[in-house]
Structure 1
């Protein structure tokens, strides 16, 4: 989450390299965060960016 907040255009491969896990594991985490409404993709796969959704309770 912190890396995406700093650079929202990072790919799964770039995130995996920085974190030290496999790209497949990053994709699983991203899918879970999208399902929970924490993370949202804005725009196309190429040229788009990730948006961290702020939850207000």
Structure 2
């Protein structure tokens, strides 16, 4: 368990450094989503069809 926590902490720190801001904190850039996605078109899922 300690190994998992250590690895997760290291990966989160690496991601924060890569993005330039910590998780759940505002970005200094206007080009970020921060987990909020707004779309005019809802996602439509369709079943796969077999090629004949």
- TM-score category of the 2 structures, normalised to the smaller one: 0.3 to 0.5
Highest CA radius of gyration, 1 or 2? 2
The structure that is helix-richer by fraction is 1
Kindly indicate whether structure 1 or structure 2 has the higher relative contact order, using CA contacts under 8 Å at least 6 residues apart: 1
Q: Please, what TM-score do these two structures have when normalized by structure 2?
A: 0.34
The structure that is strand-richer by fraction is 1
Q: Please, what TM-score do these two structures have when normalized by structure 1?
A: 0.32
